[in-house]
Chains A and B, each alone.
Chain A
Amino acid sequence: MLVKFVQEVQIPILAAMLLGACSAKLLRTVRARSLEAGLGPTALFPVRTRKPLALFICAIEFGLGIGLIVTAGERLYSPAAISVRLGTCLLFLVATSALVELRTTRPDIGCGCFGDFSTAPVSARTLARSALLAGAALATVHVGRIDPPRTAAQSIQVLAILAAELIVIGALSPELGEGLIRLGYSEPCELRNVPVDRTIAALRRSKQWRKLSGMISDDVPADIWRELCWRYVVYPSSHKDREAQLVFAVFLQQRRPTVHSALVDAVTGEPVPFPVNASAERLRPPLTRRILRPLSGKVAAREMAQAAEYPQPDLPLSSDLYLESNTAQDFEIVPLAIMQAEPAGTGRNAEP
């Protein structure tokens, strides 16, 4: 009975492997917009034959996977079931041979068995898995109709066999580690594609914007550029009847981005202090001296720490705790060309 269960378990496992492999390849194809992309053994063939070969492999995997499921209820030695199961065995035997050849001639490329997940070079584990699946397919040839377990003990036996085999296959699959890494992967902010619109929207929600937007003479930015985790937005402004520019640096994160700002002379690019009188009217400084409270919550703390972790080469200042003042005298003392970093919308988080 145990042998029969072992044989029966192979059919759903093989079907899942074949359909999973086919799906992963299709997913890769959709992403890369190329049918032959990422299919390792096709690299052994001339360029012109790779595309039809990749299509053929995908179709075979799909056909056999579906065939194994459909013929699972067939009687013993049914021609359809025998054909599908022997075909599966043959596929894995050919795959094993192709992987041996691939490992010899192109040791730098992956097997492509599961699309993007199979980028690691072909190893002994990959070969062993393919051979194991060939053996498993051969073991199903003598399996008749698959019936569900009748007792609880039988169910436990089947589940135990299934779990054991999945563990073995997992141990032989380099793709498993890759998949687990991807599950927990978060792209560093330097590599994240953040649209300009999102940055502008975050800037306009910030307290810096509410303070300084009155100084902007044109809503259209004069220049926008990005470096690492920061995007810089420059608006035309004026200072003492001379042209000036208001520069914002926005940290590229989803929520509550850190924002820095500076006022510079439009001709020289040198920082100039924010106008004292104008700031009282335009910048609407808060009426009381206060310290911004650090953002609450683990996420905010992590994001703020991340922002502080990215000091730019010319940036000795990158603290998120700042003093603000309401007196003109203090405005003259505090170098306002370096406006304080603050999370967007910190009005709610500030305390007197």
Chain B
Amino acid sequence: MPSAPTGNACCDRCADLGGADAGKSDAGKIARRRLLKAAIFRPLEADAPTDPKPDDFDQDDPADLAPTTGFADVAELPRAVSGTILDISPHVLIIGQIGTEQRYTLTPDAIGWRGAPCEPAALRQGDRVVFRLHPSRRNVADRIWANMGRVTGVIIDRSGDSVLVDEGATRKPQVINILPRHMGRIQVRFPNLEPGFLVDIIGVRRGEDLDGVIPATSQPGYPAHALPPPAMVSGHVPDSISGSAVWHEPRDEPPGVLGVAYPALDPDARCAEDAASRRGHGYARMPYLAVGSVLRIRNDCSGKDCLVPVTGCAAIARLFNDRCVNCGTSPRGRIADLTMASFIALGGELERGCFNATMTIGE
């Protein structure tokens, strides 16, 4: 299994490794980079206060940390909430969040998912859920995903119906258990469940393991170490890049973060995740960026778009040269590995695994 070289950082995604303050300082750094960049390239306005008071600025206040150009507007995009079900009925969902109970109304056409689409009432107390709030009505949910998990990586080992997967240098290896009734469906899209090949499976979390249910994509035909050479980019990199946008579980991120793991972070950022791929670049040739860069990502299927900051590197995503076929056929290559909240905010359906996306850099 690939291991991280000593001294590598975690691309601001290992908040828990550095203590409680690490995440806060990283978030501050991400926001600060935008301010510093703006200071370089934006002239001082004549009427701007040239001597800002330090007391006017609160580093813990998200409003002060937020850059001047807006990120996703919660009033316009669906919000995602996560928590543990305390009680659920056909009309009401009660979840517990950090010692508090929150009550949400379910729309009449609300749909649940727990390995397969189901009625919301079929979900159980204690299920860990992510649900989508109606964009214009607070406390009203219309989609609920229970115990949903996803494992994307390189197969390390296989024993019977269990597959051990390396998800990158900063994550623990994951076990996928594939029940016989799901094996046929998965093997249609993933014929090579052998060490060295890539795998991307959505399923139901059972403790630390994942019960694989749905193939999230079609398996690339090559082993992870034999990524085909990417197409050469001549001239300038286009402003907009199209491809497949996927999502990942919030293992070491706080739930609800709007962010994206980007497949081409500057190699000199020394991301530990880079060690997972051991390659300088992935299949989709994308310009180098840093944690804190801002991308506009558009869901070509729903038409929704928003600005999201880069919060980590997607070293595994760049090994895939798959296409998303949710609405038409996307160009090959994964261009964004979104957090669950971002994916839902952009109108993605988690069980589909991806959406056709267009990304614009540098807004």
Contact = CB atoms under 8 A, between A and B. Distances in A.
- Interaction A to B: yes
Interface of A: 32-34, 36-38, 43, 47, 106, 109, 116, 119, 181-182, 185-188, 190-191, 193, 195-196, 223-228, 231-232, 234, 240, 242, 245, 247, 249, 260-262, 264-265, 267-273, 309, 312-318, 335, 337-338
Contacts of B41: 249, 260, 312, 314-318, 338
Contacts of B6: none
Interface in B31-63: 32-33, 35-44, 48-52, 54, 56-57, 59
Interface string B274-292: 0000001100011111111
Contacts of A182: 232
A338 B52 contact: no
B288 A269 contact: no
Given A196-B268, A316-B42, 9 more contacts: A187-B233, A191-B237, A193-B280, A223-B29, A227-B362, A268-B57, A270-B48, A309-B236, A338-B40
B225 A34 contact: yes
B94 interface: no
Contact of A226 (B35, B48, B266, B285): B266
B289 A232 contact: no
B170 interface: no
B23 interface: no
B36 A190 contact: no
Interface of B: 29, 32-33, 35-44, 48-52, 54, 56-57, 59, 69, 192, 194, 197, 221-223, 225-229, 232-237, 266-269, 280-281, 285-293, 361-363
27 contacts: A32-B226, A109-B228, A119-B229, A181-B234, A185-B232, A187-B233, A188-B287, A190-B287, A191-B286, A193-B267, A193-B280, A225-B269, A226-B269, A227-B362, A228-B288, A232-B33, A247-B40, A249-B40, A264-B39, A265-B54, A268-B35, A270-B35, A312-B362, A313-B69, A315-B42, A337-B43, A338-B43
B244 to A, nearest CB: 16
Contacts of B280: 193
Contacts of B56: 268
Give the 3 A-B residue pairs with the shortest CB-CB distance, closest first. Answer: A315-B41, A190-B287, A269-B35
Contacts, number: 167
B33 A228 contact: no
Interface centre among B37, B69, B234 (most CB of A within 10 A): B37
A211 to B, nearest CB: 15
A335 B43 contact: yes
Nearest to A247: B36
A309 B236 CA distance: 10
A163 B38 CA distance: 60
A35 to B, nearest CB: 9
